[in-house]
A and B are shown apart, each in its own frame.
Chain A
Amino acid sequence: MSSNFEKLVGNHDILSLKELNVLPIFSESVIKFFSDLSGIILKDKNSQNFPDLMTFGFHIRKSNINIIRKNYSDIEKIAYGRGLAYHIGPSNVPMNFAFSLFYSLLAGNPTIVRLPSSNFPQIIHLINLINLTLDSTEHLSLRPYLSLVKFDKGTDLSAEISKLSEVRAVWGSDATVHEILSHSKRLKCKDLVFPARLSWSVISCKRILDHAEHLCDLANDFFNDTFSMDQNACSSPTQVFFLRDTHNVEKAKSLFWRAIKEKIISRKYEISSSVVMEREIASVRAVMTSGNTLIRRDYLPHFHVVVKDITASEAMKHSVGGGLFFENEIDTFKCLKGYLSDQVQTVTTHKQDVLSLRIQINEACPGQVDRVVQFGRALDFGPIWDGYDLVREMSHLKI
Chain B
Amino acid sequence: MNQSYVEYETILNSILAAESLYPTHHQKLDLTCKLTGYLDDWHFSNNSDYRNMVLSDGNNALGIRSFGIPVRLFKQRDLMSVSRNQIVKTMLSSGTTGQQKAKIYLDKNTARNQSLILSRIMSDLLGSKRLPMLIIDSERIAKDRTVFSARTAGIRGFSIFGKDVHFALRENLDFNKDVVVDFFTKYKDQPKLLFGFTFLIWQKFFKNIEKLEDTVNFEGSTILHGGGWKKIESEKISKNEFKKYFLDLSFKNVHDYYGMVEQTGSIFIECEKGYFHSNIFNNIKVIDPLNFKEKKYGEAGLVSLESIAPFSYPGHRILTEDIGMIIGEDTCSCGRGGKYFEINGRLPKSEIRGCSNVIQL
Contact = CB atoms under 8 A, between A and B. Distances in A.
11 contacts: A92-B352, A228-B355, A230-B353, A275-B350, A280-B319, A281-B70, A281-B72, A285-B73, A287-B52, A289-B52, A297-B291
A297 B60 contact: yes
A370 to B, nearest CB: 21
Contacts of B319: 280
B160 interface: no
B76 interface: yes
A286 B77 CA distance: 11
Chain B binding surface SS class: loop
Given A271-B290, A281-B72, A294 B356 contact: no
Interface in B302-345: 302, 319, 321
Contact of A285 (B57, B76, B350): B76
A296 B56 CA distance: 9
B70 A94 contact: no
Given A273-B347, A288-B52, A230 B70 contact: no
Contacts of A295: 56-58, 64
A54 B358 CA distance: 13
Nearest to A298: B60
A67 to B, nearest CB: 24
Contacts of A301: 290-291
A280 B67 CA distance: 12
B316 to A, nearest CB: 16
Given A48-B360, A230-B352, A322-B350, A284 B70 contact: yes
B69 interface: yes
B127 interface: no
Closest 4 pairs between A and B when the two form their complex, measured CB to CB: A273-B289, A301-B290, A274-B350, A287-B56
Contact of A94 (B347, B350, B355): B355
B354 A229 contact: yes
Interface stretch (A18-26, A70-78, A116-124): A116-124
B6 interface: no
A366 interface: no
Given A276-B290, A295-B56, A228 B358 contact: yes
B349 interface: yes
B1 to A, nearest CB: 28
B72 A52 contact: no
Contact of B354 (A52, A270, A276, A287): A52
Interface in A295-323: 295-298, 300-301, 306, 321-322
Given A121-B356, A280-B292, A301-B291, A294 B52 contact: no
A220 B72 CA distance: 34
A294 B57 CA distance: 6
Nearest to B301: A273
Interface of A: 48-52, 54, 91-94, 118, 120-122, 220, 227-230, 232, 267-278, 280-281, 283-285, 287-291, 293-298, 300-301, 306, 321-322
Contacts of A284: 53, 56, 64, 69-70, 73
A294 B56 contact: yes
A277 B302 contact: yes
Identify the interface centre among A227, A230, A283, A293: most chain B CB within 10 Å of its CB.
A230
Given A230-B352, A230-B355, A275-B350, 17 more contacts: A94-B354, A121-B354, A227-B358, A230-B353, A230-B354, A230-B357, A232-B352, A273-B347, A274-B349, A277-B289, A281-B73, A284-B64, A284-B69, A287-B53, A294-B58, A296-B60, A301-B291
Identify the interface centre among B50, B73, B291, B350: most chain A CB within 10 Å of its CB.
B350
B52 A290 contact: yes
B57 A118 contact: no
Interface residues of B, number: 41
B139 interface: no
Interface in B55-100: 55-58, 60, 62, 64, 69-70, 72-73, 76-77
A341 B57 CA distance: 29
Nearest to B58: A294
A270 B56 contact: no
A220 B358 CA distance: 12
Contacts of B58: 294-296
A235 to B, nearest CB: 13
B147 interface: no
A293 B361 contact: no
A50 B292 contact: no
Contacts of B219: none
Contacts of B350: 272, 274-275, 277-278, 322
Contacts of A294: 56-58
B104 to A, nearest CB: 17
Nearest to B292: A297
A328 to B, nearest CB: 15
Contacts of A122: 354-356
A52 B355 contact: yes
A342 B352 CA distance: 26
Interface in B16-75: 48-53, 55-58, 60, 62, 64, 69-70, 72-73
Contacts of B360: 48, 51, 54
Contacts of B355: 50-52, 94, 122, 228-230
Nearest to B50: A288
A120 B352 CA distance: 9
Contacts of A227: 358
A25 to B, nearest CB: 30
B62 A285 contact: no
Nearest to A268: B359
Contacts of A271: 290
